[in-house]
Amino acid sequence: MEAAQRALDEDLQSAGDITTRALIPPGTRGRARIILREEGVVAGLPLVSMVFRLLDSKVNFQPLVSDGDHLPAGSEITVLEGPVPAILEGERTALNFLQRLSGIATLTSRFVALAAPHGAEILDTRKTTPGLRALEKYAVRAGGGRNHRFGLHDAVLIKDNHIAAVGGVGRATKLAREAVGEGQSIEVEVQRLEDLEEAVRAGADVVMLDNMAAEEVKEAVRSARGRVKLEASGGIDLENVAAYASAGVDFISVGALTHSAKALDMTLDLERIS
């Protein structure tokens, strides 16, 4: 609710919608439909409902599909009925959320379709829009992906700068294990095959193979021999994700799911009913 209210406040400010106020009498009622203009996966319908509920409880929101549904172009997503001023005030905010989250869900679904036949799960990253991480990670799940850590607070991920700061992969892994104990999973990022063995011996649970070519990843899978979970990351796109998945990794993390997803095209069409 906080994100929806913040977005409405940004758009309306203290003056409200001065165009709608000038043109539309307060009692005017209408019916609106949100329609997909291109094929994709829908995500964000509860947020749309919240936007209009915050504006006017008299707006009736009727979803015609569910989040996670993969739909063809031309599909009607929802019907809104109620005061026209509230529908117009919320139109852009609702569409911004719905298009953004549906774009993420759609892109995620494409990665999942290419990776799943090889047994690899698609993960997101922390490369999210500030303040919207929970929503964007929700959209990843709607598209069939899985969430990586939500923040620095909930998982240990030793990256290259941590390793540089403490003086090596093995030392960083051992220090982390001593600090968090055996109950906490530890993931270590490596950029060279020789560091993989060091991370495994030091007790890593997951090793992230960062910016390695697909052939190097295949070699890492052979080297690890199931002793540790492996995640491929860096430079992975729709063109090469199947090659990385077929190399045998458990996970593939893709920052583009949230930082480069194209908004899904849709429109809100309004008709006056009284």
Among candidate residues 110, 159, 177, 218, the one labeled active-site is 159
**DSSP letters of 186-247?**
EEEEESSHHHHHHHHHHT-SEEEEET--HHHHHHHHHHHTTSSEEEEESS--TTTHHHHHHT
Q: What six digits make up the tokens of 66? A: 């569910």
Active site residue 92: yes
Q: Which amino acid, one-letter code, is at 165? A: A
Among candidate residues 127, 133, 174, 177, the one labeled active-site is 127
Among candidate residues 189, 195, 198, 231, the one labeled active-site is 189
Rounded to whole angstroms, the Cα distance separating 73 from 52 reads 24
Rounded to whole angstroms, the Cα distance separating 144 from 123 reads 10
| DSSP for residue 34 | E
Rounded to whole angstroms, the Cα distance separating 122 from 109 reads 9
Backbone angles phi, psi at 111, to 5 degrees: -65, -45
Active site residue 210: yes
Active site residue 137: no
Largest CA distance in the chain: 73
Active site residue 127: yes
Q: Which amino acid, one-letter code, is at 15? A: A
CB 185 within 8 A of CB 155: yes
Strand, helix or coil at 135?
Answer: helix
**DSSP letters of 108-127?**
HHHHHHHHGGGTPEEE--S-
Active site residue 149: no
Among candidate residues 21, 33, 92, 146, the one labeled active-site is 92
Rounded to whole angstroms, the Cα distance separating 116 from 143 reads 13
- Active site residue ranges: 92, 127, 159, 189, 210
